[in-house]
Structure 1
Amino acid sequence: MAVYAAHLTRTLQGTPTVFQVTAQEALGSTVKPALRKVVEYLAATYPNKCSWCLKWYDELYLLFDCFLQYHYLKHYAASFSESFYGLLRVPLNFSSEFSSGPRLPVYLERASLAALVLVPYISDKVERIVDRWREDDEDGKLGKNTADHLRRAAIRVYSVIHLVSEGVRLVQLARYLMGSARSHSPTLAVLGLALSEAPPQQLPEDEYTWADFIRNMVTGQIGSAVVTFPMVGSLALGAVEYGAFAVQFLRWWESRATHQHTHALPTPPPPERDERALRWKNKCPLCLQTWKIPTVLPVSGYIFCYICISRHVRANSSCPVTRCPAAESSLVRLYID
């Protein structure tokens, strides 16, 4: 794999626009859920062989993301998504160590790797734990013992930290838009890095490429047509890059087609209120009690307790009232006073 030439100088000329930096962040956030869909399909198709992959998906993705990001940081001084959009990371305070070589300083490379891989992994784990505690608290499962009081305090602290972090991100992005900050995100600012447009990549003169391979095959020089490891690596990385872009395009196309299709249909008449709706007014049709964490099932429109309907849908994949097919991912939380 070719790397940038050693004489390459890195400056803050060609500062990327806010559209470039937000697009690369969106691309980076697409890879994990897209791969999860693939793993879910494999687990459903081959449950005996691939079900463990879904159970340990976060850890498997952590290893994959670590190798992927390390490769791009090492060879391109950028993350996977940043490199895809032609960006690279440059230190805000230049040093001879950095300007004389093709890589980031080792400490910045390691810090960038931790920020790209380890921090999101820990953040996702903490968010899931807090969300579970929040649901238990809203469902009345948390008591008055010391451990439950600590869980409630952790929920409040996490909410404050999340609000402050999002506010800091917004302020940093606003400063970047106004030109008063050279880093668009607080993470890059803390690391002392900024994004810059990458210069065109130059291949070494002796680098054998796929163009050479095809030309040798067409001209009949079969003996000279060899496949090297850098060629295979570039093909694999290119497939990952354009595969991620294809996932984003398909998501946009699906949302666009759904939007157009929905607006093309006539508005259906409202359903008539039946006896069951009157009998279950302000009650969960499953437990016949007042809603706890009211959750609507869009396929039928009935409102249930979250625990009741999530348990039923996982077991039966259908609405308990209308028997229409349903999935747990379609549940919508309602916030009713």
Structure 2
Amino acid sequence: MEFMSNIGSGADIYRPSLFELIAQEKLREMIRPALRYILSVYAQRYPRYLLRIVNRYDELYTIMMLFIEKHYLKEWSASFAENFYGLKRSRLLKIKLNLPEAVPDKELRQLRDKDIWSSLFFLVGLPYIKIKLDDLYEKVSGGAGARLLGEMFPIRDNFNEGHLQLNFKERARRLLRSLFRNFYPWVNAIYYGSILIFNIFYVYDKTPYYTPWLKLMGIRIQRMSAQDYREHYIRMNQQRPSLNLQGMTRLQATRYLLSIILSRGFDFLKILLPMSIFFFKFLEWWYSSEFSKRASGDNDIEMPPPDMIPPDSRGIPLPESTNICPLCTNNLANPTAIPSGYVFCYTCIHHHVEEFGCCPITLIKINIDELRRVYNSTM
């Protein structure tokens, strides 16, 4: 991997190309959905054992990657994906040493504990925060369909004065949701825009960092040399004492064997995690192919639709035509269905559910996430 072509790298043979750096980024990004998909498939068969794991997948995955990345940063001075592509992290000295190229102190460029923990934050912590913020934005913005159709509406405050006084916390929560909904797209644009700018500068050799996070840490990515691999294995052999369990206590022997198992297990992940991506792609192809449909054999059976929930006497009346929105009594615009089985204009039902949290006809409780866009060519 360390001998791939390096476009725009100049004379530094250890400076990786942007293609290598993006490839290792994509590898790290694909592991999360691959493992989630595999767990989701098997959770349908074994819900008793796997359903809780699937529900807490983001937190469990973050904890797992925290241990994995910490191991690779300590042992290889690289993240898991960087090590897979033969890359390493080294500190970029802020002072210029008046020494030949072969003399600079290698120890000064090695990662310190501070560098390892800051790398862990940007490798594991920041992606977790980003995913949670993206999920929150999906909830407060009404989903991708609302953004695609431009249905971004302000929160209406058509309550009476007494209701406002009783619900100050609710008004504050809605104000924060509105501010987040309006400003998060700009934060997202700055996030990806800064990465793109650093990528462009890196291609033209204007900066040794390809992301702003590396700039903040003062760390650059380099290719590993044959000498780096040699020094690593020599260091590992020196740290690992000879296997002489007779001179150890039971606790020492258990701790020693456990450290060997964990070390070998982390090294095996270099094969296991990329294989999970290929398995994910295979399952994705299988469940979308004709072979899966033929194997199941029961896809032709159509389940009858459930009975519609009857209207509540305290709810709003139903219109005479199904093409009329019960809330605004106009023709349906962007028809949207709710779990009770009734269809409304997206704007009307979004505002109603956001304010009252129930179906206006049956009065059953529903959430914004349960709104479903209806596509009907006859309307």
Q: TM-score range by the shorter chain?
A: 0.5 to 0.7
Residues 83 and 149 of structure 1: is their aligned pair in 2 closer, same or farther, counting only changes over 3 Å? same
The aligned amino acid for 2:56 is W
1:92 is matched with 92
**Quick check: 1:170 aligned with 2:196?**
yes
Aligned partner (choices 110, 115, 121) of residue 122 of structure 2: 115
1:244 is matched with 273
1:150 is matched with 176
Identity %: 22
Query: Which piece of structure 1 moves more, 105-114 or 63-72?
Result: 105-114
Task: Give how far 1:187 is off.
Answer: 0.8
3-state SS, counterpart of residue 175 of structure 2: helix
The aligned amino acid for 2:344 is Q
- TM value normalised by structure 1: 0.63
Unpaired runs of at least 5, structure 1: 1-11, 209-227, 262-278, 295-306, 314-330
Q: Tell me the distance in 1 between the aligned counterparts of 2:33 and 2:85.
A: 20
Task: Give how far 1:24 is off.
Answer: 0.2
Task: Give how far 1:150 is off.
Answer: 2.6
1:33 is matched with 33
3-state SS, counterpart of residue 195 of structure 1: strand
Aligned ranges 1:194-209 → 2 under 5 Å: 194-200=220-226, 201-202=229-230, 203-204=233-234, 207=237
Larger radius of gyration: 2
Task: Give how far 1:94 is off.
Answer: 6.4
Residues 84 and 230 of structure 1: is their aligned pair in 2 closer, same or farther, counting only changes over 3 Å? farther
Task: Give how far 1:143 is off.
Answer: 3.5
Aligned residues: 259
Deviation digits for residues 216-261 of structure 1, max 9, x if unmatched? xxxxxxxxxxxx7676446533442223333444566788999999
Q: Tell me the distance in 1 between the aligned counterparts of 2:132 and 2:220.
A: 28
Q: Tell me the distance in 2 between the aligned counterparts of 1:60 and 1:311.
A: 26
**Quick check: 1:290 aligned with 2:345?**
yes
Q: Tell me the distance in 2 between the aligned counterparts of 1:152 and 1:232.
A: 50
Deviation digits for residues 253-288 of structure 1, max 9, x if unmatched? 788999999xxxxxxxxxxxxxxxxx7686447533
**Quick check: 1:105 aligned with 2:112?**
yes
Q: Is the 8 A contact 1:78 1:89 kept in 2?
A: yes
1:192 is matched with 218
Q: Is the 8 A contact 1:139 1:292 kept in 2?
A: no
2:141 is matched with 134
Residues 248 and 43 of structure 1: is their aligned pair in 2 closer, same or farther, counting only changes over 3 Å? closer
Residues 133 and 70 of structure 1: is their aligned pair in 2 closer, same or farther, counting only changes over 3 Å? same
Unpaired runs of at least 5, structure 2: 1-11, 98-103, 158-170, 239-256, 291-321, 324-331, 350-365
Aligned residues: CA RMSD: 4.1
Task: Give how far 1:90 is off.
Answer: 1.1
Q: Is the 8 A contact 1:90 1:193 kept in 2?
A: yes
Q: Is the 8 A contact 1:87 1:195 kept in 2?
A: yes
Aligned ranges 1:1-337 → 2 under 5 Å: 13-93=13-93, 99-100=106-107, 103-135=110-142, 138=151, 142-144=155-157, 145-200=171-226, 201-202=229-230, 203-204=233-234, 207=237, 232-233=261-262, 235-249=264-278, 283-284=335-336, 286-291=341-346, 311=370
The aligned amino acid for 2:181 is I
Q: Tell me the distance in 2 between the aligned counterparts of 1:257 and 1:53.
A: 24
The aligned amino acid for 1:243 is L
The aligned amino acid for 2:92 is L
Q: Tell me the distance in 2 between the aligned counterparts of 1:199 and 1:73.
A: 17
Task: Give how far 1:46 is off.
Answer: 2.2
Q: Tell me the distance in 1 between the aligned counterparts of 2:202 and 2:32.
A: 27
3-state SS, counterpart of residue 120 of structure 1: helix
The aligned amino acid for 1:152 is S
2:306 is matched with none
3-state SS, counterpart of residue 24 of structure 1: helix
3-state SS, counterpart of residue 90 of structure 2: strand
Q: Tell me the distance in 2 between the aligned counterparts of 1:308 and 1:52.
A: 22
Deviation digits for residues 147-194 of structure 1, max 9, x if unmatched? 323311112221111111211111100000000010111111111111
- TM value normalised by structure 2: 0.57
Task: Give how far 1:86 is off.
Answer: 0.4
The aligned amino acid for 1:143 is R
Task: Give how far 1:204 is off.
Answer: 2.9
Q: Tell me the distance in 1 between the aligned counterparts of 2:105 and 2:342.
A: 65
Residues 184 and 102 of structure 1: is their aligned pair in 2 closer, same or farther, counting only changes over 3 Å? closer
Q: Is the 8 A contact 1:90 1:194 kept in 2?
A: yes
